[in-house]
Structure 1
Amino acid sequence: MGHFGHPDETDKRVLRREFLAVRNRLTADDVRTAAGALAERALDLPELARAGTVAAYVSVGAEPGTLALLDALRARGVRVLLPALLPDNDLDWGAYDGEGSLARVRHGGRMALWEPAGERLGPDAVVSADVVLLPGLAVDARGMRLGRGGGSYDRVLARLERAGAHPALVVLLYDSEVVDRVPQEEHDRPVHAVVTPTGVRRFHRPR
């Protein structure tokens, strides 16, 4: 096969670089303003209104901000689970109990992540979530997500599938990151909704 094996992988790498370059031009104010708007829009989602447990993540750098949303969900009495990266790139989970419950963890040469400081609940804890918020760099018109390339969320999605769990899959993005098409691989599954600072876009809910 040689280098002809996966043209999509090369496409994904190039696309990731392009989307990250745009994010990196955002100011701290841009990110903060967008985070407030994202939280407002996301809180209106019926899936989040009904959710007892939400698996989420803490945004870093210029990623679309999640903390305002995490705090609002907690204030509603929702159980919020946050990921902790394992050495094999899989994700363990812990409960979010406000900003004081977070620890800054550096993984190798990568940027430091905010992870739950408390008890670890095990990788299978995500199966109990009614909604899973997935990080991403883009979503296309079919609901296919371009991830960051670490593969952690591919593991999560595979685990949900094996368990027969069907949480709502939601991605938080900036408006410019909703695009016509991203490269798709066999194992990729569409998400159900994307939330941006200006609104929500829904995709066909696969069953």
Structure 2
Amino acid sequence: MKDQSVHDIGSKPALRAELLANRAELSADVRSAAGRSLRDTLLGMPEVEMAGTVAAYVSIGTEPETHGLLFALWKRGTYVLIPRLLPDGDLDWASYEGPDSLVSGPFGLLEPSEPGRGVEAIASADVVVAPALAVDRTGVRLGRGGGSYDRALARVSPAVLTVALLYEGELLDNIPKEQHDRTVRAAVTPDEGLHLLGDGN
């Protein structure tokens, strides 16, 4: 993937399109290896090792793979919350109880079959793993434009570790920030591992 940090990123829609196109060019083997690397980095982080509750998500399509991460967290006894997309675009949260607990949702999403705990449940998480197409070095996160995760992250304490999963080349120098955008505190990439963002740089 070419270096995204040095080209014009003034247009979020254009940047999203470019990043999605780059992801589509990645082979299944590259995506699989990236998912394993991200999983191993996260599982070895002290904050994740000590977390009683982790809020994460079920990857789809060309997103960095999270199925192995969710399963590993669940098997070692971590309480894992995953989102269910509500009609208004907000996110309800319910417990992950293994791969067989996932059901088909809207837009090709996989969602929890367990009862929802409400939109505020994310506030109980000790670590939040968020999807992103890119993140900049101040923690500004570029999502898919729906705003669901900005609403969810607004409910998370600033003291909680929020971390985005990226491929190489998706940690940028700058992403234009809008008023509703919520930052993350860290990003993980397959080759370089953990990046602390913003004041943690």
Shift in Å, 1:88: 0.3
Structure 1 Cα separation of the partners of residues 199 and 68 of structure 2: 27
- Give the alignment of 1:25-64 within 5 angstroms: 25-64=25-64
1:50-106, Cα deviation, whole Å (9 max, x unpaired) = 11000100000110011111111112210000000000000011110110000012x
Identity of aligned residues (%): 50
Shift in Å, 1:190: 2.7
Structure 1, unaligned stretches of length 5 or more?
1-8
- Give the alignment of 1:33-182 within 5 angstroms: 33-105=33-105, 107=106, 110=107, 112-160=108-156, 166-182=159-175
Shift in Å, 1:175: 1.1
Structure 2 Cα separation of the partners of residues 172 and 79 of structure 1: 20
Counterpart in the other structure of 2:185: 192
Counterpart in the other structure of 2:4: none
Aligned amino acid, residue 30 of structure 2: D
Shift in Å, 1:45: 1.6
TM-score, length basis structure 2: 0.89
Aligned amino acid, residue 128 of structure 1: S
Structure (1/2) with the larger helix percentage: 1
Counterpart in the other structure of 1:201: 195
SS of equivalent residue, structure 1 residue 38:
helix
Structure 2, unaligned stretches of length 5 or more?
1-8
Alpha carbons 2:140, 2:177 under 8 Å: kept: yes
Structure 1 Cα separation of the partners of residues 84 and 136 of structure 2: 27
Alpha carbons 1:79, 1:95 under 8 Å: kept: yes
TM-score, length basis structure 1: 0.87
Q: Which moved more, 1:79-88 or 1:18-27?
A: 18-27
Aligned amino acid, residue 78 of structure 2: V
How many residue pairs match? The answer is 191
1:113-157, Cα deviation, whole Å (9 max, x unpaired) = 010012111111111001111111001121211111110011112
